[in-house]
Structure 1
Amino acid sequence: MGDWEWPLILFTVLGQIAIGIIVMLWWLDRDRDHLDTQLFKQGVYVSGGLLILALLASLFHLGHPEAAYRALAHLGSSWLSREILLFLLTFLAWINLFGMSRRQRSSRAIGAGATTITTAEIAAGGQQSGNRSLGLGITSVLGLLGIASSAMIYVLPRVPAWNNVGPVLFFLLTTGLLGALVTLVLGRKLLQPAQKKLLLQWSLGCTIASLLFYVIYASMLSVSMEGAASLNFLLSSPLFWARALLGWFAPLLLLVNLLKNSQVAKTNLILTLTLLAGLGEVLGRALFYLSATGIQITVLF
């Protein structure tokens, strides 16, 4: 079996939350002026902090971090090289978003503090919204491509448990689920009720999809001897059942309760939901590495 790969767990989970926040902000900004300026700023700051932590964590997995730049010489043949390039480009795109957030004028301040708004100010505000949406879109696309590249590193013929579409779907579902929940936490006082409901519905869809796909994934593992060994390890591990409780069953109950009873503004429930889902995804990512039979991750520089 595999090992606890804490640098990779932190890199993948934190990086996916960071990209997920940006994707959710882009989605909320699909109609101009529907994304609160303060939420945009908070989302950019938090996503940037998480992205920096993720990139720093990834360095602890390398035998020679100072030589990481050499991986860029293998873009044509290595998913690792593509991952590094795409995450660097994502970080550069985030720097642009950070600059936008510093220049963004608060729509609330304009509405409360100005008695007249000139045509030029309206046009400038519209241009800011358009640039913001474009910046969020570019960062989202680069980040999602980086996450897909991360997942493709593990699609290896010599590891049956990984040699399928599983890594890509698992990574993207984590991005969608935790990105939506963390955005909901950040915007609990800034989001409109309809926006909160949409984020909860999206989170519910990601949780159901994750559970259903895991059932399919488990059936796929039983085809080969190595895959069956991975499946046996999973089902006999207390970590798997903790992951199922924290990451699937408890979040499903809370999400259904929030949506059914229109309690989208209950901060304590939202925080509890996010914490449980986050712990569940961390355990799930740990099991992803632990359950791989005969795997030894090495990086050559």
Structure 2
Amino acid sequence: MHDLPLVIFTVISQLLLGGFVAFWWLERTKGGISKHTGLLILLSLLVLGGISLLVSMLHLGQPLHAYRAILNFGVSWLSREIVFYGAFLGFILLYTWFWYKEDAAKRDIIGWIGSVIGVIAIFSSAKIYMIPAIPAWDSANTLFAFFLTALLLGPLYVAACLAIRREKAVNISRLSIPALVAAAIVGVVYFSTLLAGLPEAVETAKLTFMHAFFWVRVVTFIAASALMVLSYKISKFRNVKIYSAAFAVLLASECLGRFLFYETAIHL
């Protein structure tokens, strides 16, 4: 379980990107979110961001020296991830402040800049793992997987929060279903590529298929997909129970997938 801090950090950081962009875009285009509900959602994102930073330091041999990682910004994707992710959290904090001050104009600017920085942060995070020494990681799949986690979890988290607050009925299935289809396609292509690749890549695929977590991930992914299809087909199922259940099941699925990402990696 040595990689558990990385699992938590990467999944939460990607959830934050999807959640912040979804909240900002929804408020910008649709409006109708009360000040109190908006503050609760934004503060919850900040709390999750703080937790992700604390957990990520548990993976370091000397957590108190973590600040030194930013010194290699020019050559290290890890340094860039730290800088851009920290900046992203800073912009969420700024957005929260201007939400409290009810300054829509400044929120709009901060939303644009924060979203771009968040995308760069997740891109930097993916690039850390795209290295030739580990064939299973060294492909565009890593990049797709990280951004798909953001797309799958973030908007659904915001939709569930809004449903809990009974503020706004969001048909999130229109976004979630295409994202789920894309994730399924990426998964099939990924394993097909592994099985046709280097021996280390083939071994990664075999280890993944033999792991119980892989099949639990498949079942939870299908269950979340079924809930989203139900939500899309029948309007009465666009409610707090369905969205909360779908989010919880999908969160478990993404965490299991990320655990397998680390656990089954084979070095050259």
Whether TM exceeds 0.5 here: the answer is: yes
**Does the C-alpha gap of structure 1 residues 260 and 171 become closer, same or farther in structure 2, counting only changes over 3 Å?**
same
SS at match of 1:61: coil
SS at match of 2:137: coil
| Counterpart in the other structure of 2:72 | 74
**Per-residue deviation, 1:143:** 1.5
Structure 1: 5+ residue runs without aligned partners? 105-127, 296-301
- Written as runs of structure 1 = structure 2, the 5 A alignment for 1:34-113 is 34-104=32-102
Identity of aligned residues (%): 29
Runs of 4+ in 1 over 3 A off after TM superposition: 32-39, 189-193
Q: Does 1:251 align with 2:249?
A: no
**Per-residue deviation, 1:42:** 2.2
Q: What are the Cα deviations for residues 221-268 of structure 1, in whole angstroms up to 9, with x where unaligned?
A: 12110000000011111110100111x211111111111011244322
- Is contact 2:7-2:255 (8 Å) kept? yes
SS at match of 2:139: coil
**Per-residue deviation, 1:190:** 4.6
Distance 1:99 1:27 in 2: 17
| Counterpart in the other structure of 2:181 | 208
Distance 2:90 2:60 in 1: 22
- Which TM-score applies when normalising by structure 2? 0.94
- Is contact 2:230-2:237 (8 Å) kept? no
Q: What is the CA RMSD across the aligned residues, in angstroms? A: 1.7
Distance 1:137 1:39 in 2: 21
| Counterpart in the other structure of 2:147 | 172
**Does the C-alpha gap of structure 1 residues 202 and 190 become closer, same or farther in structure 2, counting only changes over 3 Å?**
same
Distance 2:47 2:90 in 1: 14
The one-letter code sitting in structure 1 at the alignment partner of 2:264 is S
Distance 2:38 2:63 in 1: 33
Q: What are the Cα deviations for residues 70-114 of structure 1, in whole angstroms up to 9, with x where unaligned?
A: 22221121100100110111122122122123223xxxxxxxxxx
Please tell me whether Structure 1 or Structure 2 has the larger radius of gyration of its CA atoms: 1
**Does the C-alpha gap of structure 1 residues 182 and 8 become closer, same or farther in structure 2, counting only changes over 3 Å?**
same
Structure showing the higher helix proportion among its residues = 2
**Does the C-alpha gap of structure 1 residues 168 and 191 become closer, same or farther in structure 2, counting only changes over 3 Å?**
farther
2:258 corresponds, among 281, 285, 291, to 285
Q: Does 1:225 align with 2:199?
A: yes
2:126 corresponds, among 146, 151, 176, to 151
| Counterpart in the other structure of 2:235 | 262
Distance 1:40 1:66 in 2: 34
SS at match of 1:77: coil
1:141 corresponds, among 116, 127, 134, to 116
**Does the C-alpha gap of structure 1 residues 218 and 32 become closer, same or farther in structure 2, counting only changes over 3 Å?**
closer
**Does the C-alpha gap of structure 1 residues 31 and 207 become closer, same or farther in structure 2, counting only changes over 3 Å?**
same
- Is contact 2:227-2:246 (8 Å) kept? yes
- Written as runs of structure 1 = structure 2, the 5 A alignment for 1:10-21 is 10-21=8-19
- Is contact 1:4-1:290 (8 Å) kept? no
| Counterpart in the other structure of 1:241 | 215
Distance 1:182 1:160 in 2: 33
